[in-house]
């Protein structure tokens, strides 16, 4: 893996009721010289095993911030930027310090940055994780739990950790109108989030019926192929221009 073979794409996050832009999630792509575009599902586990995720993850963060700065300079509407953080990256060295330096280098408004952590990140030594999360939060960024509902089932950490948002996993959203169990789980997650004053984002919305159903449940934000596939920089700019014109 040569680092110059990596790039980012951006998946829109929208307000469900209106379809208006709220943010984007940065997603990593590996353009292999022989094999073409390789899915992160294939190479992230390998990068985690070899430790390469540490420099690559740092590159993702800086690249995402560079893009935010470029959009700001170009006068585009402000978007929140969600960035996936691997457990290996989170537990390696001084992550909070790396974040602080990157925020400063690109002069980023931290309230527009959301770090996506999986439940597995949080299941290490609780005191150590809590300390790390507090230091990260002290820089003003938002924290989200990715793939919520698929990981460790202890809900205790939602109370203890400074989390802002839950991202409801795609597996509960897919076919939500046909699978009562998925609808029940999604309703329960939304109710839980409401009672703990957390925001929710539904992932993997592919159909308009899924979107309408989530709207009726009071889910405010979503992402998925129904709105847009992951976009390159130019496509994001076109998406924003289209939303402004609408
Ligand atoms: P994730 O964080 O859950 O990201 C969402 C994945 O679901 C993305 O796949 C996205 O393209 C896909 N997706 C979004 N909406 C839909 C939909 O409506 N239907 C379907 N079928 N799929 C949808 P992608 O880009 O292949 O990423 C896969 C996973 O790789 C991500 O899952 C994340 O865990 C990991 N990943 C991606 N970029 C990074 C990164 O920069 N750092 C780290 N540590 N992990 C990353
Ligand atoms: Ca994610
Ligand atoms: Ca996810």
Give per-residue pLDDT as tens, 16-43: 999 999 999 999 999 998 889 899 999 9
Tell me the CA–centroid distance for residue 115 and ligand 1, in Å. 14
Pocket test for ligand 1, best of 3, 27, 88 (most atoms within 8 A of CB): 27
Residue nearest to atom 46 of ligand 1 (CA): 84
Residue nearest to atom 12 of ligand 1 (CA): 204
pTM over 0.85: yes
Kindly report the average pLDDT of the chain as a whole number.
94
215's enclosing H/E stretch is helix 208-216
Tell me the CA–centroid distance for residue 145 and ligand 3, in Å. 9
The fraction of the chain above a pLDDT of 70, given in percent, is 97
Identify the pLDDT of residue 3.
54
Give per-residue pLDDT as tens, 60-82: 999 999 999 999 999 999 999 99
Average the pLDDT over 133-150 and give the result.
96
């Amino acid at each position: 893996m040569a680092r110059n073979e990596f790039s980012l794409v951006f998946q829109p996050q929208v307000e469900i009721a209106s379809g208006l832009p709220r943010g984007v999630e940065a997603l990593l792509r590996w353009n292999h010289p022989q094999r073409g575009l390789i899915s992160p599902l294939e190479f992230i586990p390998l990068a985690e095993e070899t430790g390469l995720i540490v420099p690559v993850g740092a590159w993702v963060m800086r690249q995402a911030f560079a893009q935010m700065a470029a959009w700001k300079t170009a006068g585009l509407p402000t978007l929140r930027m969600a960035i996936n953080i691997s457990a290996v990256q989170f537990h390696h060295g001084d992550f909070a310090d790396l974040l602080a330096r990157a925020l400063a280098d690109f002069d980023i408004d931290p309230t527009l940055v959301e770090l996506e952590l999986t439940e597995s990140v949080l299941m290490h030594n609780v005191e150590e994780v809590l300390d790390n999360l507090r230091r990260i939060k002290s820089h003003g960024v938002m924290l989200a739990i990715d793939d919520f509902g698929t990981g460790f089932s202890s809900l205790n950490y939602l109370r203890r950790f400074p989390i802002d948002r839950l991202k409801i996993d795609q597996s509960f959203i897919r076919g939500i109108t046909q699978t009562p169990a998925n609808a029940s789980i999604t309703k329960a997650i939304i109710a839980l989030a409401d009672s703990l004053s957390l925001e929710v984002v539904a992932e993997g919305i592919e159909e308009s019926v899924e979107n309408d159903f989530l709207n009726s449940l009071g889910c405010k934000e979503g992402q998925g192929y129904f709105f847009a596939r992951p976009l390159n920089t130019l496509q994001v700019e076109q998406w924003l221009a289209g939303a402004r014109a609408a």
